[in-house]
Structures are given as structure tokens and as C-alpha cells.
């Protein structure tokens, strides 16, 4: 599952490294996962793993319910009329990537 929020872009999967109800939430930008941890109320006991040469070099393993809680919080705190502008207010360099993603989806769908 790909998810774009004002905190970052995440890829959540249940892969071979997940046990029980855990999911692996991956990202390409370390601060994104830091913001996710803060919003979800996760402390230092949940390390951000650095995966050399991976498509997503940063990863956390969390219970699926915690991932769901983060998504709920992200939805409940929406207060913008334009997602790209809101995301760029957190990191202005994201605008081009978001626009390219939007254009690719627009052309396909």
C-alpha cells in the first residue's frame, strides 16, 4: 500500500520480515518515518532500520493496528484544501515528485 500524507510517502507491506500482526512501513526519507513515529506516539523502542541498497532505505516494523491508528490520525487532522500545497509546507522539495505522481495517475486512469 502506498500512502502519501503531509508527513511523507510510505509503502506498507506484510513481507517475510513481519511476524504476527506486524507490518513493515517503509520510506525513502528518514525524517518521514520520524514524523510517522511522532504522530503515532511511538517511542525509541521502535527503531528505524536503515536498509542499504533497498528501494526504501528506511523501515519500521509496527503492529497493523498502529499503522491503522496513524492513518486515522492523518485523516482526522486534515485541514487543507490542496494536498500538494500542504505537503510542500512540510518540505517544499516534494512538490515536483507529487506533481509527477499525480500526472502519472491522471494519464493512466
Q: Residue 62: in which H helix or E strand, if any?
A: strand 58-63
What SS3 class is residue 7?
coil
Both 42 and 57 in one domain: the answer is yes
Both 50 and 97 in one domain: the answer is no
pTM: 0.90
Both 86 and 70 in one domain: the answer is no
Both 55 and 95 in one domain: the answer is no
Task: Say which residues have a Cβ less than 8 Å from residue 85's Cβ, sequence separation at least 6.
Answer: none
pLDDT digits (tens, 9 = 90+) for 74-89: 999 999 999 988 988 8
pLDDT digits (tens, 9 = 90+) for 6-27: 999 999 999 888 889 999 999 9
pLDDT at 109 over 90: no
What SS3 class is residue 27?
strand
Instruction: Please give the full DSSP string across 42-77, using - where no structure is assigned.
Output: --TTSPPEE-TT-SS-EEEEEEHHHHHHHHHHHHHT
Amino acid at each position: 500500500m502506498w500512502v502519501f500524507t503531509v508527513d511523507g510517502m510510505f509503502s506498507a507491506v506484510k513481507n517475510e520480515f513481519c511476524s504476527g500482526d506486524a507490518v513493515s512501513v517503509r520510506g525513502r526519507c528518514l525524517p518521514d518515518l520520524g514524523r510517522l513515529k511522532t504522530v503515532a506516539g511511538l517511542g525509541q523502542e521502535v527503531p528505524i532500520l536503515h536498509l542499504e541498497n533497498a528501494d526504501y532505505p528506511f523501515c519500521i516494523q509496527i503492529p497493523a493496528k498502529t499503522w491503522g491508528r496513524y492513518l486515522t490520525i492523518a485523516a482526522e487532522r486534515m485541514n487543507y484544501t490542496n494536498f500538494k500545497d500542504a505537503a510542500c509546507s512540510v518540505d517544499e522539495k516534494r512538490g515536483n515528485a507529487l506533481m509527477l505522481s499525480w500526472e502519472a495517475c491522471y494519464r493512466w486512469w
